Amino acid sequence: MACRSSGGGRRRGLLPAGVIAAALFALLLALPTAARAAADPFAELAATNFDVEAQGVRDLAVSGNPRAHAVINALRDGKLWAWKWPRPDAPLFIRTDSGIVDARTGAAVAAPAPVNLRRVIVNDSVRAAIETAEGALNLVSPVVAARLKAAEALFQSADAGALPLIEQALAKEHDPSVARVLREAHAAALLKSNTGSTEARLAAVDELAERADLLARGLLASLHGQPPQVAAAIAAAVRSIDRSLQLWGLLENVYYGISLGAVLLLAATGLAITFGVMGVINMAHGEMVMVGAYTTFVVQQLIAAFAPALTQFGLLFAVPAAFLAAGLLGVIIERTLIRFLYGRPLETLLATWGLSLILQQAVRSIFGPTNQDVTSPDWMSGAVHLGGLVLTVNRLWIILFALLVLGALMATLRWGGLGRSIRAVTQNRRMAAAMGIRTPVIDALTFGLGSGVAGMAGVALSQIDNVSPNLGQNYIIDSFIVVVVGGVGNLWGTLLGALILGVVDKFVEPFEGAVLAKILVLVLLILFIQRRPQGLFPPKGRVAEA
Amino acid sequence: MSSERFTLDRRQLLGAGIAVAAASGLTAMPGVVTEAKAAPAAPETGPIKVGILHSLSGTMAISEAPLKDVMLMLIAEQNAKGGVMGRQLQPVVVDPASNWPLFAEKAKQLLSVDKVAAVFGCWTSVSRKSVLPVFEQLNGILLYPVQYEGQECSRNVFYTGAAPNQQAIPAVDYLMNQVGVKRWVLEGTDYVYPRTTNKILEAYLKAKGVAPADMMINYTPFGYSDWQAEVAKIKAFGSAGKKTAVVSTINGDANVPFYKELGNQGIKATDIPVVAFSVGEQELAGIDTKPLVGHLAAWNYFESVDTPLNKEVVAAFKKFAKDDKRVFNDPMEAHYIGFNMWVKAVEKAGTTDHDAVIDAMIGVAHPNLTGDYATMMPNHHLTKPVLIGEIQGNGMFNVVWQTPGLVVAQPWSPYLPESKNLIGDWLPPMSCGSYDVVAGKCVGAKKA
Amino acid sequence: MRDRLTVATLACVLGGAALLAALNVLTAPASALHVPGFVISLVGKYLCYAILALAVDLVWGYAGILTLGHAAFFALGGYCMGMYLMREIGTRGVYANPVLPDFMVFIGWKELPWYWYGFNHFWFALPMAMIVPGALAFAFGWLAFRSRVSGVYLSIITQALTYALLLAFFRNDMGFGGNNGMTDFKDIVGIPLNRDSASVGLMLVTAVVLALVFVLARAMTRSRFGRVLIAVRDAESRTRFLGYRPESYKLVVWVFSAVIAGIGGALYVPQVGIINPSEFAPANSIEAVIWVAVGGRGTLAGAILGAVLVNLGKTWLTSALPEIWLFAIGAVFIVVTLFLPRGIIGLFTSRRSARAPQPADPAEPKPAAIESTAREAAG
């Protein structure tokens, strides 16, 4: 393991130089000393070289200039403008809502001609310097979350020079979570600095072992030149972290499998209805999902145009809209096409295949062949940390949504007039008609229901996959496989089938790679069908055959 | 089955019907019966036909359809200037529908039936490889605008896209030198372009002293959308304390879920930057790029490049497409360069005869849209600048670095043992696509 | 044994092929009657598809097995021929390696894998193009039919089979050229492929093979074996109770059909010039079924007709109407299934044999599922 050198001018990884500067800056806030005059950081900001620019940010942060915060914010937001050609006085301007102000003084000035200006752009290294600068300011922020973030940054940089700063912050810290991270940061910095007594170091190793995550492990693994007792403790700590990471890794695979299963479930549920209940093999099912995804896009566009305040709730409007759109389309298809093909499942397969081609091309003609932009609302972004697990929020919502949809569907079929009628028609069409149920209407509604569910699946899929005319093709085979594994027409079977397929795929993947995992799942399916030719939950009762 | 009886007239009718259907079907194909045999001797007067061989449906339509549009614009503009040698240009558009055998069939049709003077087309390496034998047999001209894996140098193809040393290697140099990257994840889709590129990069990184433990190479299938596990692996690899970057040869569609997952798992561009070779303005047009800000792409052109010629061409394209939101990307610039070079070559040769034009193309120079000149080299590739751009929130790129000069393409990679002694040079006396400089002879490929 | 339809079909196929060949070889290039080499290879391609369609019709029209994965057998046969053609390239490849094909050189392999041995001989490759799909069909069919998988389940797992093969052959590590497939063929048994004479020869061979296969299939379906097969198709349980073993009959016709498809694939590759994993795509298999449906299921001649007509239409539409050809093809499928349930051949036979036994669909298990679901939902 290479030894990381501490500090140094070139930004190489986890913000060493910046944190030293930040540490100094924070100390300066605590101690009433006059601000240090640096080389003009504003001129550095106006430079066209990114490294100089990053240095300018760091110098500005340290300088104690009262405008520092405003200028750094403007730079981050892309509102800082410099002169297009080099000038010795390096004018800098900030574009605010009320006009142009001079960056150095904050006073409003007459706007120079646009042709003379260029926006000061940032690259990753400048962005990192900005983050460091803000981190330093945040260490003394009244907001707990900001302090936590700054403490994490300190932990990651593990810089010895920051030790006094950390100790000072610890003394003042009263929030337990921030305090814990500060202790970890202290431990990291201590170990990295290769100083301190053996007891102190052993305590630091324990602290990090308790943290037990990837970063701690990485840090521990990269230490060397420690006294033998400490080295032994480090090795033991690394092993224990590895074990717990492995356990979390297993749980993570289960989570991935469940979330993949939820996606499969959503895509397959609608098919379970049309296929299972009506015996209709609908090869255009994937296109219903696509219609749902495009409906989401259209709803989003409409909200953006007419009610921008509701943007975050776009999905809530999209779900019923997609259900209606896909459902209506399903009803139309049933009335114009499927109706004539009942009792001929193989012809329906062929006709619906032709239909899927038409639908794909129609969408391609209307919206263009490119992907459409469907943004995720904020409440669906990010991840939840549960111990060592990182659960991405959007997939959590999808799992919930899939279960809700399945539950709603089961409820509809079990209770409610429509559900009863559907079951009656499926069991004995003639008798149901004789009892006064209008079978053509029920047929259309059932197909519409299945398609509507597919549309809702499209809403969910638009969050994790591309919205393009080819969206449906990616899911049609998997949907059929799920329905076949679960047993035709049985919603519980669909649920189980989807989960099994998802989990198997995700468990094989880390060992064999994604491609082989998929192939293995397919081979297993073929073998599984030998054992259970009619799926996990075959239809009970005597099956009439010719 | 024996109950199917035909009366005599029914059978005759059936037979005649089939024959007529077949015959009329064949004659319905444009000009079949009246056109001459395979070797396309294009007429010397009348409009000059130009073939456009890009998928307008199927999986590749997303990327290829805009290339058809830019070709139509270029042809229209050239016609407004009086055409070529006083003759108007006539575009012949066909749809190979992302189907590789269909590419070969359409290519044959364009060359032997429509007798086009040149074909602008293809995107994936498979499509190019499937039409290559057709172009070589019928001695056609193909202008291929997309970055690819190299290891090819055909007399009948002009490669206006980047070879690996004009994209992948400079990007890795940028990360190593400017960003200080020490650990590398090579993440690709499982097909030839990423495999070959990663092979080259692996050899290059080893040559630069990167240890195998600091490299991780992963492949995923086409259209892969469930990135949770892969991204977690990248995150784990990047937590070893050294600056890590991802070099992504992930194919088009799978990029969106990949970036989304990166954002969701909290990996920022400042932590682990991703440099992609297949993500351009067109691919970003469909997504919200705010979580991607700071990630990189390496191309020879970006729409945001600030030169007067670029602004003019992009504006003209948006006007032609009647849509302000259309974007302009690297392969479209390649077609711009290739088309103008072809026009110059035809005028230089004074004829559309394929052999003459092929010989006349070498040495032709035309301004590119980034402020330089592109020149067609004897190896049928261009000189190109390499630009590294950072993704912005509006789906455009900010150029953060550029090679100081133009890079000459090396279609035969010096980092692979089987090609390190090969060069391509179609000028006499070598006139060979894969000439072994050590052995001093032309290897395997055809001579002019 | 030969009825009028058979004679008509054979006449069209052989006669048409001979005519086209003559018009290519015997007329001068500038003549108005000349048929260009490109058309010849196009027709050859259609005839190969017709062979695939015949294979599908045998299992679907006569045994009631709706196969949505037959293109897998076609593609496997194609790969066998492709491997032979790649070996034939020898030192004329880009890397001039006498033994290894180009794509192996550039993934860094040093020697030929064991499964490529022998493919440098045409008389090994051709039988392999029949044996490999046959063996796979045997394994798959034995497992499937023995467990009495039928109907839609069978169709779905044939899709799974072809999809798995698609993914497998896409992998560059498999040694079959990965995503790029195999291309740039030079010659076949010494005859250069880029000559018109090669195209004509291949097309004629394909036509003859198609005719032979057609006659064989006809013989098979009109024999006693064929009658049992139809019985299995129409009433499997009853046939079983009568003492026959439907599994064996299905297996035999399934393997035979796979072998035929393999031959079709082997003839397809030299005429098209490339073999690539996308031939395994599920969509290709579904299209093969569409060809049979358009022509007329269970008539064999209909399969040939359907294959030629639909592909002709596709070729024409992708040139004439490139922006909307998918609409047209989709509409064709819908129109044919709604209004021509017995295909085009059925149009001609409908009046005379209104009460002819129709190819019945395999029985679908009656979904009593909703009741059980409700019960489970309640309990």
Would the pLDDT of C372 be above 60? no
Side chain identity, residue A210: E
Query: How many whole angstroms separate alpha carbon C142 and alpha carbon A530?
Result: 10
A454 confidence band (pLDDT: 50, 70, 90):
very high
Say if C257 falls within a structural domain. yes
Would the pLDDT of A30 be above 60? no
Mean pLDDT, all residues of chain A: 80
Q: Which of B37, B57, B133 is facing C29, going by the closest CB pair?
A: B37
Q: Please name every residue paired with A117 in a beta bridge, in sequence order, or none if there are none.
A: A83
pLDDT tens profile C230-254? 999 898 889 999 999 999 999 999 9
Q: Which range (A175-184, A493-502, B355-364, C167-176) has the least confidence? A: C167-176
pLDDT tens profile A149-171? 778 777 776 666 667 777 877 88
Q: Provide, as residue numbers in chain C, all residues whose Cβ is less than 8 Å from the Cβ of B125.
A: 180
Task: State the DSSP H helix or E strand holding residue C182, giving kind and residue range, or none if neither.
Answer: strand C182-183
Query: How many whole angstroms separate alpha carbon B130 and alpha carbon C101?
Result: 16
- Are B422 and B412 within 8 A, CB to CB? yes
Q: Which of B61, B224, B260 is facing A364, going by the closest CB pair?
A: B61
Output the pTM of the full model: 0.79
Q: Provide, as residue numbers in chain C, all residues whose Cβ is less than 8 Å from the Cβ of A517.
A: none
Residue among B36, B38, B53 at smallest CA distance from B132: B53
Choice between A145 and B198, residue whose per-residue pLDDT is larger: B198
Percent of chain C with pLDDT over 90: 34
A512 confidence band (pLDDT: 50, 70, 90):
low
B213 touches chain A (CB under 8 A): no
Would the pLDDT of B29 be above 60? no
Q: Provide, as residue numbers in chain C, all residues whose Cβ is less than 8 Å from the Cβ of B3.
A: 353, 356-357
Distance from CA of B309 to the nearest CA of C (A): 32
Percent of chain A with pLDDT over 70: 88
C351 touches chain B (CB under 8 A): no
Predicted confidence at residue A254, as pLDDT, reads 87
Say if C97 falls within a structural domain. yes
Q: Which of A127, A221, A256 is facing B228, going by the closest CB pair?
A: A256
Neighbours of A305 (CB within 10 A): 8
Kindly report the three-state secondary structure assignment for every residue of A280-312.
CCCCCHHHHHHHHHHHHHHHHHHHHHHCHHHHH
C332 touches chain A (CB under 8 A): yes
Percent of chain B with pLDDT over 90: 48
Predicted confidence at residue C265, as pLDDT, reads 95
Average pLDDT over residues A248-263: 87
C350 confidence band (pLDDT: 50, 70, 90):
low
Say if C344 falls within a structural domain. no
Q: Which of C41, C95, C322 is facing B418, going by the closest CB pair?
A: C95
Q: Quote the tokens at residue A44.
A: 């550095």
Choice between A336 and B286, residue whose per-residue pLDDT is larger: A336
Which residue of chain C comes nearest to A485, CA vs CA? C153
CB contact under 8 A, A488 and C332: no
Which residue of chain C comes nearest to B12, CA vs CA? C8
Identify from B54, B59, B60, B62 which residue to disrupt to test chain A contact, counting A C-beta atoms within 10 A and taking the largest count: B62
DSSP category for residue A539: P
Identify from B14, B125, B218, B219 which residue to disrupt to test chain C contact, counting C C-beta atoms within 10 A and taking the largest count: B14
For residue A164, say if its preceding peptide bond is cis, omega within 30 degrees of 0. Answer: no
Would the pLDDT of A5 be above 60? no
Q: Quote the tokens at residue C55.
A: 């294979």
Would the pLDDT of A257 be above 70? yes
C379 touches chain A (CB under 8 A): no
Average pLDDT over residues B114-136: 90
Identify from C153, C286, C290, C335 which residue to disrupt to test chain A contact, counting A C-beta atoms within 10 A and taking the largest count: C153
Query: How many whole angstroms separate alpha carbon C179 and alpha carbon B192?
Result: 7
Say if C166 falls within a structural domain. yes
> B76-101 burial by CB neighbour count: b if 16+ within 10 A, else e?
eebbeeebbeebebbbbbbbbbbbbb
Distance from CA of B137 to the nearest CA of C (A): 6
Would the pLDDT of B332 be above 60? yes
B11 confidence band (pLDDT: 50, 70, 90):
very low
Residue among A139, A144, A136, A90 at smallest CA distance from A117: A90
Coil vs helix vs strand at B311: helix
Predicted confidence at residue B24, as pLDDT, reads 42
Q: Which of C91, C180, C320 is facing B192, going by the closest CB pair?
A: C180
Predicted confidence at residue C197, as pLDDT, reads 83
A393 touches chain B (CB under 8 A): yes
Q: Which of C324, C336, C367 is facing A489, going by the closest CB pair?
A: C367
Predicted confidence at residue B57, as pLDDT, reads 80
The alpha carbon of residue B44 and the mean position of all alpha carbons in its chain are separated, in whole angstroms, by: 30
B35 confidence band (pLDDT: 50, 70, 90):
very low
Chains in contact with A via at least 3 Cβ–Cβ pairs below 8 Å: B, C
Would the pLDDT of B353 be above 60? yes
Would the pLDDT of A367 be above 70? yes
Q: Provide, as residue numbers in chain C, all residues whose Cβ is less than 8 Å from the Cβ of B34.
A: 32
DSSP category for residue B240: S
C90 touches chain B (CB under 8 A): no
Predicted confidence at residue B39, as pLDDT, reads 44
A354 touches chain B (CB under 8 A): no
What was the ipTM of the complex prediction?
Answer: 0.80
Q: Which of B22, B102, B130 is facing C16, going by the closest CB pair?
A: B22
Predicted confidence at residue A143, as pLDDT, reads 77
C357 touches chain A (CB under 8 A): no
Predicted confidence at residue B288, as pLDDT, reads 73
Distance from CA of B368 to the nearest CA of C (A): 31
- Enumerate residues 6+ apart whose C-beta is below 8 A from A10: B180
- Count of structural domains, chain C: 1
Average pLDDT over residues A413-417: 84
Residue among B234, B368, B243 at smallest CA distance from B299: B368
Q: Provide, as residue numbers in chain A, all residues whose Cβ is less than 8 Å from the Cβ of C149.
A: 529-530, 533
Distance from CA of C132 to the nearest CA of B (A): 23
pLDDT tens profile B294-330? 899 999 999 999 899 999 999 999 999 998 888 999 9
Would the pLDDT of B22 be above 60? no
What are the extents of the domains in chain A? Answer: 11-140, 249-544
A539 confidence band (pLDDT: 50, 70, 90):
low
Q: Provide, as residue numbers in chain C, all residues whose Cβ is less than 8 Å from the Cβ of A332.
A: none
- Enumerate residues 6+ apart whose C-beta is below 8 A from A367: A294, A297, A469
The residue range of the domain holding C81 is 2-280
pLDDT tens profile B419-428? 888 888 888 8
Percent of chain A with pLDDT over 90: 13
Say if C259 falls within a structural domain. yes
Say if C90 falls within a structural domain. yes
Kindly report the three-state secondary structure assignment for every residue of A384-424.
EEECCEEEEHHHHHHHHHHHHHHHHHHHHHHCCHHHHHHHH
Distance from CA of A274 to the nearest CA of B (A): 26
Coil vs helix vs strand at C216: helix
CB contact under 8 A, B288 and A10: no
Q: CATH number for the A249-544 domain, one of 1.10.3470, 1.10.760, 2.40.160, 1.20.1280?
A: 1.10.3470
CB contact under 8 A, A350 and C150: no
Q: Which of A276, A341, A484 is facing C156, going by the closest CB pair?
A: A484
